[in-house]
Amino acid sequence: MANYLIKRILMLIPLLLGITLITFTVIHLAPGEPVEMQTAMSPKVSAQSRARLREFYGLDKPLHVQYAKWLGNLSRLDFGRSFAPDNRPVLDKIKERIPITISLNVIALILEFGLALPIGILAAVHRDTLLDRAISFFVFVGFAVPTFWLALLCMYFFGVKLSWLPISGIHSLGSEQLPFFGRVLDLAKHLVLPIAIATFGSLAGLSRYMRSTMIEVLSQDYITTARAKGVKERVVIYRHALKNALLPVITLLGFSLPALIGGSVIFETIFSIPGMGQLFYQGVMARDYPLVMGILVIGACLTLIGNLLADVSYALADPRIRHGKG
Amino acid sequence: MIPLRRLLLLVLLTLTACSQGAPADRAGSRGPGANGSSFVTGSIGEPSTLIPTLATDTSSSDIAGLVYNGLVRYDKNLKLEGDLAESWEVSPDGLQITFHLRRGVKWHDGKDFTSRDVLYTYRVTVDPKTPTAYAEDFKQVQSAEAPDDYTFKVRYAKPFAPALASWGMNILPAHLLEGKDITKSPLARSPIGTGPYTFKEWIPGQRLILEANPNYWEGKPRLSRYVYRIIPDSSTMYMELKAGGVDMMGLSPVQYQRQTNTKEFLARFNKYRYPASAYTYLGYNLRLPMFQDARVRRAITCAINKEEIIQGVLLGMGQIAHGPYKPGTWAYKAKVENDPAYDPARAQALLREAGYVMGADGILAKDGKPLSFTILTNQGNDQRLKAAQIIQMRLKKVGIDVKIRVVEWASFLTNFIDKGKFEAVLLGWTISQDPDLFDVWHSSKTGPKELNFINYKNPELDRLIVEGRGTFDMEKRRDCYYRIQEILAKDQPYTFLYVPDALPVVSSRIKGIEPAPAGIMHNFIKWYVE
């Protein structure tokens, strides 16, 4: 096991290098560069000012020199400074956005798993009944309805018409003066709509997945055996079937690790949530290379770690794999 | 695995708890009118840096405009007036400007404002190490000096009329910046200026808060707080407006005309409407033989019904553009001779005259080549796309085949504009306060990445542009610009389409707004809440 782990971890290094090289190339292949995006069509900017800006950002150097410099900095965990006019360290920009994104995603993820798994099981157990169809209908509505549209409707209904919930942002004006509990309540109120809508939209995938694995497990011989022995149906489902049906879910959990720092642009834009999705989108639109690369590297690391964790925990959870590999 | 059901229960409990918690606060702080004498406005974008010399975006200048001052500014009638300069003189030969600075003005940290600050701002802007986009403004300056604390003199190599307006540039505090690296200065995140509002806080991605400056030289602004909320989606912003979360936003024509005429809305909000400082145009690539014939360009203008575009695209919220100036400003000529009006028959006659004959397919052709071109426009601007479609329909009626292509902005610039690889473009320009047209229309500005990308070259126009910027005499300048508008009307290097209206809406709890040619923000410090 230890050998296997070390091998896997060592493998990550060339993989990561490859990822950075490809992303660096791709992002530079896109037309336009930061200076261009900042100064295009502005009558005030002369060719000299443009050259001055390019030199300031180091864009006048050949691409491989820029890459080597960036990689050198990265090896010292320095993500560089943003190419936006504020020229702030990329890490600062990411740091101020990551807490809200992670908290939102963690809550949404817990809700998603907490709701989708039972829903999927319920549908599998009551397969082909009215209940199953109603559940399918419900989750597919969530999947099919465009988030932005649903969000706007909910904002209008709960925010403008009923004024129960705030419409956008994550804090009310003047919420700093509230006591701690008031601040938490204020934040919670702001998060109800975004989280509810995000969860609703993501139920379909996981619950359908759960339903089909559960159905598959329920048709296994050992389930039939258990039933034949006269084990109670509840025990059959929740002890014998569920344990096995949940195994693949571990892999899914591993895959959702990188998603924790990624945010949806549309979603964050609609709700004015200053998260990673917006930051990344703005970075791409402004061709803010260091920022985009920074976010991609963090995302790539998390993906690789997530995969590793999924593999390892799968091995730990499933004796067949554990014993097979040794 | 058994706790799963308990988890579900827990989740459901939390959910109900949330939805119960919410209505308890129904009469909470978000109702209309709850903002007190704070003024809350929304912005799609977030400022990048609050050192105006380094910024290029409108959000940054929205904030900088309240925190800093320039030496001069435009008044409500778009005339230059003194700001930090109490007065100024231009020497008789037009080469030297002497500014007499206002005394008793203090920086927000209590230090006196002096000519040293002006000199520093000039020096840092022209310093080759400063990554600024504004050095061009001061390139014509030959020398700048500060003979005493309240006098500032600049000399130019030749008379340069736009120079005066360039001193509207925000003045930076020398005592905080001199000898330091401006790109690493903390002022970028917490500025110190001389303006009506002082900086309070900036919560990244959410909002900026400014507070009224009690020591402002024009008197303390009556609205005690200015809150600049970042709301990237305009539909969300509209909801916030209706729920009382913002006091002001710009409406779209549809919102102005169709969604905001209810009694309830009109009681809670005041809508304003005045021409924006921008125009939309159809520009022709004059490198192409097809467009080198002025008759073809005039014919296209004749074939386009500009009024119909304004109705279709702006629901009537705009006016026809005849030239590069905003209607009602001093350089704008109301009646321009030779300006082609909508007249499809005349369009056809002009095209016949230019040698085009109607083909069997209903498309005009000359020497076997059909009169066909592509209008290129940028992605994300629905109004431009619609305008292009209306133009396509009209031109088809006179026998011109038009295709439309929408391209992402970066690629639009690098792959098409910079390389001169386009036929016609549908774009817009902002109209600057000073009527100088050098950058967009002078024949020396046709190089790569320069703004005369349609390659328009007219020696007479060049002469008039240079003459107009070379004198401070308003009468003489106006004559030049009148003549320029006649030439552009005759030549039609662009078909000038429309000047849209700005459609701001402000909560009716805010009083003291006086619409003027400059818009509504000119007397912002006098706005108040009853």
B85-90 sheet: strands from edge to edge: B85-90, B96-101, B151-156, B141-148
Contact A31 B207 (CB under 8 A): no
The residue among A148, A112, A25, A105 whose CA lies nearest residue A276 is A105
The model's pLDDT over B478-513, given as tens digits with 9 standing for 90+, comes to 999 999 999 999 999 999 999 999 999 999 999 999
Residue A39, chain B, CB below 8 Å: the answer is yes
Cβ-contact B501, B321 below 8 angstroms: no
Q: Shortest Cα distance from B54 to chain A (angstroms)? A: 6
Cβ-contact B284, B493 below 8 angstroms: yes
Q: Which helix (H) or strand (E) holds B175?
A: helix B174-177
Instruction: Compute the distance between CA of residue B200 and CA of residue B190 in angstroms, rounded to an integer.
Output: 8
CA distances from A92 to A76, A214, A295, A326, B342 (A): 16, 45, 12, 44, 56
Cβ-contact B272, B513 below 8 angstroms: yes
Residue B35, chain A, CB below 8 Å: the answer is yes
Amino acid B328: pLDDT: 87
| A90-125 and A289-317 helices, crossing angle to 10° | 40
CB-nearest partner of B411 from A32, A160, A185:
A32
Asked if the model's pLDDT at residue B6 lies above 90, the reply is: no
Cβ-contact B312, B390 below 8 angstroms: yes
Contact B22 A50 (CB under 8 A): no
Q: Which two tokens stand for residue A203?
A: 């139920």
Amino acid B145: pLDDT: 94
Q: Supply the DSSP symbol for B362.
A: S
Q: What share of chain B is helix, strand, coil (3-state, %, to 5)?
A: 35, 25, 40
Return the SS3 of A202: helix
Amino acid B34: pLDDT: 46
What's the rounded mean pLDDT across residues B236-253? Answer: 93
- Please state the ipTM of this predicted complex: 0.81
Instruction: Compute the distance between CA of residue B160 and CA of residue B209 in angstroms, rounded to an integer.
Output: 38
Q: Which residues are registered as beta bridge partners of B370?
A: B365
Higher pLDDT, B506 or B449: B506
CB-nearest partner of B231 from A165, A272, A279:
A272
| Contacts of A55 by beta carbon, 8 Å cutoff, 6+ apart | none
CA distances from A302 to A146, A265, A297 (A): 28, 19, 9
Cβ-contact B300, B375 below 8 angstroms: no
The model's pLDDT over A148-187, given as tens digits with 9 standing for 90+, comes to 899 999 999 999 888 899 988 888 887 778 888 888 899 9
Amino acid A83: pLDDT: 87
- In B17-150, the DSSP E strands lie at 38-43, 72-74, 80-82, 85-90, 96-101, 141-148
Candidates A53, A56, A109, A173: best to mutate against B (most CBs of B within 10 A) is A173
CB-nearest partner of B451 from A30, A41, A152:
A41
* Touching B: A residues 195-234, CB under 8 Å: none
Cβ-contact B119, B145 below 8 angstroms: yes
Q: Which two tokens stand for residue B151?
A: 């006098």
Return the SS3 of A250: helix
CB-nearest partner of B4 from A37, A118, A270:
A118
Q: How many beta carbons lie within 10 A of that of residue B214, not counting itself? A: 10
**Poorest-pLDDT segment among A206-215, A312-321, B183-192, B231-240:** A312-321
Residue B157, chain A, CB below 8 Å: the answer is no
Asked if the model's pLDDT at residue A248 lies above 70, the reply is: yes
Highest mean pLDDT among A91-105, A196-210, A269-283, B502-516: B502-516
- In A127-170, the DSSP E strands lie at none
The residue among B412, B322, B329, B324 whose CA lies nearest residue B375 is B412
Residue B227, chain A, CB below 8 Å: the answer is yes
Candidates B207, B239, B259: best to mutate against A (most CBs of A within 10 A) is B239
Amino acid B504: pLDDT: 95
| Contacts of A267 by beta carbon, 8 Å cutoff, 6+ apart | A147, A148, A151, A194, A197, A198, A273, A277
Cβ-contact A182, B266 below 8 angstroms: no
CB-nearest partner of B439 from A40, A43, A56:
A43
CA angle B69, B434, A41 (to 5 degrees): 90
Amino acid B29: pLDDT: 39
Residue B410, chain A, CB below 8 Å: the answer is yes
pLDDT band at B187 (very low <50, low <70, confident <90, very high): very high
Average predicted confidence (pLDDT) for chain A: 86
Residue B92, chain A, CB below 8 Å: the answer is no
| Contacts of B87 by beta carbon, 8 Å cutoff, 6+ apart | B99, B100
* Chain B residue with minimum CA distance to A282: B45
* Chain B residue with minimum CA distance to A190: B22
Q: Which two tokens stand for residue B311?
A: 């109705």
Instruction: Compute the distance between CA of residue A61 and CA of residue A55 in angstroms, rounded to an integer.
Output: 8
Candidates A45, A119, A199, A285: best to mutate against B (most CBs of B within 10 A) is A45
Collect all residues of chain B within an 8 Å Cβ-Cβ radius of residue A32.
409-411, 413-414
| Contacts of A296 by beta carbon, 8 Å cutoff, 6+ apart | A19, A20, A23
The residue among B348, B331, B345, B371 whose CA lies nearest residue B475 is B331
Asked if the model's pLDDT at residue A61 lies above 90, the reply is: no
Collect all residues of chain B within an 8 Å Cβ-Cβ radius of residue A268.
232
Asked if the model's pLDDT at residue B5 lies above 80, the reply is: no
Could you give phi then psi for residue B73, rounded to 5 degrees? -155, 170
Residue B55, chain A, CB below 8 Å: the answer is yes
Q: How many beta carbons lie within 10 A of that of residue B257, not counting itself? A: 15
Contact A174 B207 (CB under 8 A): no
pTM of the model: 0.83
Amino acid B7: pLDDT: 39
Contact B240 A168 (CB under 8 A): yes
The residue among B153, B90, B99 whose CA lies nearest residue B470 is B90
Q: Which two tokens stand for residue B220?
A: 């303390």
Contact B29 A172 (CB under 8 A): yes
DSSP codes of every residue in B243-303: HTS-SEEEPPHHIIIIIS-SHHHHHHEEE--EE-SEEEEEEE-TTSHHHHSHHHHHHHHHH
Q: Is the dihedral of CA B130, B135, B141, B145 positive or negative?
A: negative
Collect all residues of chain B within an 8 Å Cβ-Cβ radius of residue A165.
22
